[in-house]
Amino acid sequence: MEELLETILKVMQSPKFYVPVITIGVTILVINSSSKVVKKFVNRNSNSIEIKRRNTIVSLVENVVKYILIILAFLIILGTWGLDISGLVTGLGVAGVVGGLAIQDALKDIIMGCNIIMDNYFVVGDIITYGDFTGEVIEFGLKNTKIKNVDGTVKVVANRNISEVLNLSQKKSTVSIIVPTSYDESEEVVSKVLIKICKMIDKWDLTTEETEYLGIDNLSQSSVDYLIRAHCKAGARWDLKRQILALVKREFDKNKIKIPYNQIEVHNG
């Protein structure tokens, strides 16, 4: 029994035993502590949108740091056991270079994904315009972003290709509505009806400021175009536009104001 205890004590006093134990313990402690500190720092003095943006990049950084610490701990343990780690380190370096070249597009996506989060380009739920495509961000990952427009079409964009976007949700939106009317209609009557419509729009929850009646905007070939401008909450411009157009149609029908459409006149001889 005494010999067994002496053997155990001798093993525990050996660097090959206590160095790996200490290394593993310190690695776990550092990983857990760094995660808590980073999350506490990120959540401090931040609103829910900012927290949502930053949590993604925090998760990425945590994973990278965790794997680096695990690799370092593994190398320390192998060195303590007397293994030659110089060849292993060289091999890891070569493998890293080869792997980096093979997945450079994926790395570009990840880096741009981090930039999107850090620079507050957008978050899930924002309405954005990418090129000529406008829609809601329904999914955002470190490799790609999915945007869904009002028709239900989903556009998948690699993050590395997102150099600039228009975010329609971060600020208040403005909706300009062109209302075409027949040349036969009285300007005074049409203006009176449109001013009434503007006052009705101001009572809606979607609007944030007083709706403006701007008068005649254009004299086109087949219509007199009037312009009204409404202001709404972020991301509500499409709903507001549809509701305004429906209201204009109802009020014009009620007041028997004609909305022109293209017609062709045929003359015989």
What local confidence, expressed as pLDDT, does residue 128 receive? 85
| Nearest-angstrom CA–CA distance, 231 and 176 | 9
What local confidence, expressed as pLDDT, does residue 260 receive? 86
Q: Is the pLDDT assigned to residue 244 strictly greater than 90?
A: yes
Considering only 40-54, 185-199, 224-238, which range has the smallest mean pLDDT?
40-54
Q: Is the pLDDT assigned to residue 166 strictly greater than 60?
A: yes
Give Cα 197 distance to the centre of its chain: 35
pTM for this one?
A: 0.46
Q: Is the pLDDT assigned to residue 200 strictly greater than 90?
A: yes
| Nearest-angstrom CA–CA distance, 123 and 136 | 10
Considering only 2-11, 48-57, 138-147, 259-268, which range has the smallest mean pLDDT?
48-57
b/e sequence 97-135, b meaning 16+ C-beta within 10 Å = eeeeeeeeeeeebbebbbebbeeebbbeebbbebeeebb
What local confidence, expressed as pLDDT, does residue 58 receive? 63
Residue pLDDT, tens place only, 36-60: 666 665 555 555 555 555 555 566 5
Mean pLDDT of 28-33: 78
How many percent of the chain have pLDDT more than 90?
Answer: 22
- Average model confidence (pLDDT) for the chain? 78
Rounded (10°) angle between helices 15-43 and 48-80: 170
More confident residue, 167 or 58: 167
| Nearest-angstrom CA–CA distance, 125 and 133 | 16
Pairing status of strand 166-167 against strand 154-158: unpaired
Q: Is the pLDDT assigned to residue 91 strictly greater than 70?
A: no
Task: Name the DSSP class of 238.
Answer: H
Residue pLDDT, tens place only, 100-144: 555 677 778 777 877 777 777 887 778 888 888 888 888 877 778
pLDDT-derived band at 170, boundaries 50, 70, 90: low
Q: Which domains does the chain have, with CATH numbers?
A: 2-102 (1.10.287), 121-167 (2.30.30.60), 173-254 (3.30.70.100)
How many percent of the chain have pLDDT more than 70?
Answer: 69
- Asked if 113 and 141 count as a contact pair (C-beta separation under 8 A), the reply is yes
What local confidence, expressed as pLDDT, does residue 188 receive? 92
Task: Name the DSSP class of 13.
Answer: H
Mean pLDDT of 136-154: 84
Region at 235 (left for phi over 0; alpha for psi -120 to 50; beta for the rest): left
Q: Is the pLDDT assigned to residue 63 strictly greater than 70?
A: no
Considering only 33-37, 45-49, 203-207, which range has the smallest mean pLDDT?
45-49
Q: Is the pLDDT assigned to residue 231 strictly greater than 60?
A: yes
